[in-house]
């Protein structure tokens, strides 16, 4: 299926690996020009080089890297110095650490809220009016299944991301945006095979004196699909949310999780 977004411009945050890279790759596969952001320049440039090497034949795709911390004012300024009129924005940054809520002070909360709530809101604010004026815009926020099914030790993520979810539910339904072809949706990953997931299971293995393979096997068995998702699968869903065909889909929380969430809705 042709998603009808070739030659559009996308900003993909947290794009050097994992889910962000999966989204960037899927968009590049659709002929979208991409600005990729991550803090570590080496991994970012290497990821961009891999995407350029595999870019769909014949399509004149541009891939630009911006090594920056997207959660800072300076980082966002560096991105918008490169380009302002994005058609597609995928917001993403590292998740907050897990732990015991008794150990989190105000600073820990401010950091989580800054990265996982205020940064996406700042990015949305910076682009939506331009998108509406041009008659097309797609924003996809990578959040977490923990928004819908909160996990005790991920309190910082549950809290900060719920704030973003509430904001998005309102702004996506703003008629001045929704009637002008601008959609805003959240993608809530369940368990996807990325470095982030590996580091969580590594910590769990060390804590419980088990092998990481044993911890991964138990986690996979909990998923009805009996496996973790791949960044490619995640990217394909993101690309569809950015498609012309998804123009009537806004303000939604889409949860790719292999059936892990047990509810009907
Ligand atoms: N994987 C899962 O199963 C899963 C499940 C639920 C939720 N999530 C959430 O989904 C998001 C992506 O997860 P992932 O598994 O893809 O993580 P990952 O494999 O650790 O990749 C994170 C990416 O984001 C970049 N990044 C992190 N902080 C950044 C910042 N401040 N500014 C710019 N780039 C930044 C990283 O590069 P640099 O470090 O070089 O900046 C990297 O490219 C996270 O928020 C995570 O909590 C993931």
CB atoms within 10 A of CB 69: 17
Tell me if 12 sits within 8 A of 79, measured CB to CB: no
- For ligand 1, the distance from its centroid to the CA atom of residue 180, given in whole angstroms, is 31
Reading the chain (265 residues) residue by residue, the pLDDT tens digits are 899 999 999 999 999 999 999 999 999 999 999 999 999 999 999 999 999 998 665 566 899 999 999 999 999 999 999 999 999 999 999 999 989 999 999 999 999 999 999 999 999 999 999 999 999 999 999 999 999 999 999 999 999 999 999 999 999 999 999 999 999 999 999 999 999 999 889 988 998 999 999 999 999 999 999 999 999 999 999 999 999 999 999 999 999 999 999 999 9
What CA–CA distance (Å, rounded) separates 63 from 264? 40
- For ligand 1, the distance from its centroid to the CA atom of residue 108, given in whole angstroms, is 18
Q: Is 17 in the pocket of ligand 1 (CB under 6 A)?
A: yes
Element (H, E) at 89: strand 88-91
- For ligand 1, the distance from its centroid to the CA atom of residue 127, given in whole angstroms, is 22
- Token pair 């959660």: residue: 71
Tell me if 177 sits within 8 A of 171, measured CB to CB: yes
């Amino acid at each position: 299926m042709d998603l009808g977004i070739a030659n559009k411009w996308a900003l993909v945050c947290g794009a050097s690996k994992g889910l962000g890279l999966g989204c960037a790759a899927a968009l590049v596969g659709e002929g979208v020009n991409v600005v990729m952001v991550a803090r570590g320049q080496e991994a970012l440039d290497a990821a961009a080089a891999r995407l350029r090497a595999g870019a769909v034949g014949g399509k004149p795709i541009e891939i630009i890297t911006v090594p920056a911390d997207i959660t800072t004012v300076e980082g966002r300024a560096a991105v918008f110095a490169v380009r302002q009129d994005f058609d597609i924005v995928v917001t993403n940054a590292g998740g907050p650490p897990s732990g015991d809520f008794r150990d989190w002070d105000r600073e820990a909360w401010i950091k989580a809220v800054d990265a996982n709530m205020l940064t996406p809101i700042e990015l949305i604010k910076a682009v939506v009016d331009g998108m509406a004026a041009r008659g097309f815009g797609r924003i996809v926020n990578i959040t977490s299944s923990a928004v819908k099914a909160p996990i005790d030790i991920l309190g910082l993520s549950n809290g900060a991301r719920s704030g973003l979810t509430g904001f998005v539910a309102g702004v996506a339904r703003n008629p001045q945006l929704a009637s002008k072809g601008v959609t805003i949706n959240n993608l809530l990953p369940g368990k996807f095979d990325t470095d982030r997931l590996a580091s969580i299971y590594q910590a769990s293995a060390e804590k419980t004196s088990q092998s990481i393979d044993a911890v991964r096997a138990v986690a996979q068995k909990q998923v009805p699909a009996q496996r973790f998702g791949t960044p490619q699968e995640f990217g394909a869903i993101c690309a569809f949310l950015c498609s012309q065909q998804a123009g009537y889909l806004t303000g939604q929380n889409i949860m790719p999780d292999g059936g892990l969430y047990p509810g009907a809705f």
